[in-house]
Amino acid sequence: MSLLEVRGLVVGYGPHPVLHAIDFDVEEGEVCVLLGLNGAGKSTTVNTIAGLLRPQSGEVRLDGRSLGRRSPSARVKQGISLCPEGRRVFPRLTVRQNLRLGAWSRRRSPRAVREQHDLVFDYFPRLVERQDQLAGTLSGGEQQMLAVGRALMSRPRLLLIDEASLGLSPALARTVWEVTSRIRDGGTTVLMVEQNAGALPFADRALIMEKGTVLHTAVGEQIRNVNLREAYLGA
Ligand SMILES: Nc1ncnc2c1ncn2[C@@H]1O[C@H](COP(=O)(O)OP(=O)(O)O)[C@@H](O)[C@H]1O
Ligand SMILES: [Mg+2]
């Protein structure tokens, strides 16, 4: 059984669906990239998995059990955490305070929260020097690291990251992608949304999305042979 199973998911913002009955799996212990052009339906997909959008039909299963109509906070407790598109940090709070908010679901176990703090600082050493700084004063790359770090504070089994590389320099984008491998090795499965095919080498599984459908799945070695022109650029 896969950690995440998406089945027949139909989602829209009005009468017309944006996702057309998509199906895919993510196995525990992998980094999976959901790759597609702007407007393909990537954010709609991860936002639905996180419980922010309600499907018209179909379901999302974690460990084989349907999440049904569970709220986003209930899903966080079950181990699903979303780092949403657009680097949303609280600009007037410090780095430390931002991280603390990400640990809200675990606030009754301060020790676990401290451990998670240490883990996030280990993944993103840049944040250590910045921990007492207001998040709004960080560079774009640092804010993105903080956003990913905050999503990690709930100690998720499945971390959803929506376009972490957007607006970052190629070097910083690589840094963020490299950290996803470490996050995976630390026991958190990662599903990351990307428009940038540069993320492919960091993935164990790649899903190519176009116009609300998953066109193509590649696993392991097949990822190198993903024909981007056909599968991604829709030529
Ligand atoms: N809040 C919204 N209201 C109406 N339409 C939306 C909304 N968000 C996204 N869409 C539409 O849904 C489609 C998929 O969008 P999205 O999931 O954001 O794609 P991606 O993340 O791949 O760029 C697009 O056609 C977009 O215009
Ligand atoms: Mg998007």
Asked whether the predicted pLDDT for residue 22 surpasses 70, the reply is yes
Q: Indicate the average pLDDT of the chain.
A: 93
Query: What are the residue ranges spanned by the domains of the chain?
Result: 4-89+152-231
Q: What mean pLDDT is predicted for residues 23-44? A: 97
pLDDT value at position 229? 60
Percent of the chain whose predicted confidence (pLDDT) is above 90? 83
Confidence label for 235 from pLDDT (cuts 50, 70 and 90): very low
> 36 in ligand 1 pocket by Cβ < 6 Å?
yes
Confidence label for 226 from pLDDT (cuts 50, 70 and 90): confident
Q: What mean pLDDT is predicted for residues 196-209? A: 94
Cβ neighbors of 222 (< 8 A, separation 6 or more) are: none
Confidence label for 233 from pLDDT (cuts 50, 70 and 90): low
> 208 in ligand 1 pocket by Cβ < 6 Å?
no
Q: What mean pLDDT is predicted for residues 196-203? A: 93
Distance 41 CA to ligand 2 centre (A): 7
Under DSSP, the state recorded for 94 is B
Q: How far apart are CA 188 and CA 70, in angstroms?
A: 21
Q: What mean pLDDT is predicted for residues 127-138? A: 96
pLDDT value at position 230? 60
Is residue 163 within a helix (H) or strand (E), and if so which, with residue range? Answer: none
Atom nearest to 37 CA in ligand 1? 22
Q: What mean pLDDT is predicted for residues 49-65? A: 97
C-alpha of 127 from chain center = 20
What is the number of the ligand closest to the CA of 86? Answer: 2
AA identity, residue 235: A
Q: How far apart are CA 2 and CA 183, in angstroms?
A: 18
pLDDT value at position 203? 96
Q: What mean pLDDT is predicted for residues 144-158? A: 96
Query: What would the pLDDT profile of 113-123 be if each residue is shown by its tens digit?
Result: 899 999 999 99
pLDDT value at position 112? 85
> 13 in ligand 1 pocket by Cβ < 6 Å?
yes
> 189 in ligand 1 pocket by Cβ < 6 Å?
no
Go through the chain and tell me how many residues it has.
Answer: 235
CATH code linked to domain 4-89+152-231: 3.40.50.300
